[in-house]
Amino acid sequence: MTNNFELDFSEDLCFCNYEKEAFKALDFILNKNGLGSKFLGWVTHPEVYDREEYSRMKKLSEKVKKSEVLVVIGVGGSFLGSKAVIKALKPYFKQDGLDIVFAGNNLSGDYLSELVEYIKDKDFFINVISKSGSTFETAVAFRVLKGVCEEKYGKEATNRIIVTTDAERGLLKEFSDRVGYETFCVPDDIGGRFSVLTAVGLFPVMCAGIDTDAILLGANDGLEEYTKKSLDNISLKYAIIRNAMFKDKKKEIEYLVAHEFKLTYLQEWWKQLFAESEGKNGKGLYVESAIFTRDLHSFGQMIQDGNKITFETIIEVENLKNDIIIPFIEEDFDKLNYLAKKSLNDINKVAVTATRKAHTDGDVPTVRIKVPKLDAYNIGKLIYFFEMSCAISAYMLDVNPFDQPGVDNYKKNMYQLLEKM
């Protein structure tokens, strides 16, 4: 079995129309001379990451694993990446070992109060993630949970709170140094949605017992493959397809489709990655996600026969860890004996092919990314694939992939209204 990903597209597309544009975008990334170039640290991070910090993370994660719960406090890129990896690689139902829960990504009093009730009688650690320390949702949740931790553990609470923040400055860094929390670094040259392969994402993933060495190996192989200035570079090819769909085919929505529920939070991470990177100056595809075949029984009708403004990117996992065989039953009450002794995963692959054909016939173009298996190595490589494609695609749109000016607008309004409460 090869470790290479495969990419194919359902339509004939003249890549020559965008080849020069894509190569120029890749040059911006590799030469660090495009918009937002100070945030390109993620490009070489899988190769040059801080080994000393990584060793400290591993050592502390072994201590955290002996507890019952790790509460990860963060919003956006500070939690979506780690949750995506954990959900993709951990069993669906088996709950043995450390329970990793997330907070600070919403303002629901109901959620936070239930979380406090859940952890108060358990042995727990906290990992708060914020570069500045002033991110509103995260700061509110940390204020509450810090108090719970101190009430339960007293002075020992200092050793129960782990902070991932700026290396030198910011409210959270200053406070952590003053009280003595263990800290890990949010690199200055890597923005939140590109930070999953740093301490931001990797420390919670380590605590979950997932092989982060393999994740970084996959990402490093991605670095070697997806920085090549060639149309054999499928990361570059995917960026070209997205731009052609948006500019030439007038497609407005891209669905990231998976046929495995374990990829649900990878889809959520992908949506933030592309939406925040490209959605500027009236440009960019609106990104959505779907799990098939479940969603074929809901908005599949709209995709098939509705407004022709969508295309799909399908993640197909070739070899899954577990499978089940359809049994033969004498009474054949459901008339499914023709499927007896067939694998459910093989049937699911038939569904992928059937759906793709139906949607292509219905003027919904499809891209397929074939991943050899769902493991730490391939998740690391897939993360790097999407990060590189996203940066190339955004530069092709002539927008800065690494800022998010629109995000601050709601915050300004909220702070003004809160002052009037």
Which pLDDT does position 176 carry in this prediction?
Answer: 95
Calculate mean pLDDT across residues 176-205. Answer: 96
Pick from 98, 155, 162, 152: nearest CA to 128: 162
Judge whether 276 counts as a catalytic residue: yes
Given 38, 59, 66, 411, the catalytic residue: 411
Judge whether 411 counts as a catalytic residue: yes
Question: What's the pTM value of the predicted model, to 2 decimals?
Answer: 0.95
Calculate mean pLDDT across residues 322-337. Answer: 94
pLDDT in tens, 212-260: 999 999 999 999 999 999 989 999 999 999 999 999 889 999 999 999 9
CB 370 within 8 A of CB 316: yes
Long-range contacts of 88-93 (CB under 8 A, 24+ apart): 88/262, 88/263, 88/265, 88/266, 88/374, 88/379, 89/208, 89/210, 89/262, 89/374, 89/375, 89/376, 89/379, 90/208, 90/210, 92/261, 92/262
pLDDT in tens, 117-144: 999 999 999 999 998 888 899 999 999 9
Q: Who contacts 21 (Cβ-Cβ below 8 Å, separation ≥6)?
A: 243, 396
Do 6-33+215-405 and 39-210 fold alike per CATH? yes
CATH homologous superfamily of 39-210: Glucose-6-phosphate isomerase like protein; domain 1 (3.40.50.10490)
Q: CA 82, CA 417: separation in Å to the nearest integer? A: 33
> Where along the chain do its domains lie?
6-33+215-405, 39-210
327 has pLDDT over 80: yes
Answer yes or no: CATH 3.40.470.10 is held by domain 6-33+215-405.
no
Given 276, 278, 316, 387, the catalytic residue: 276
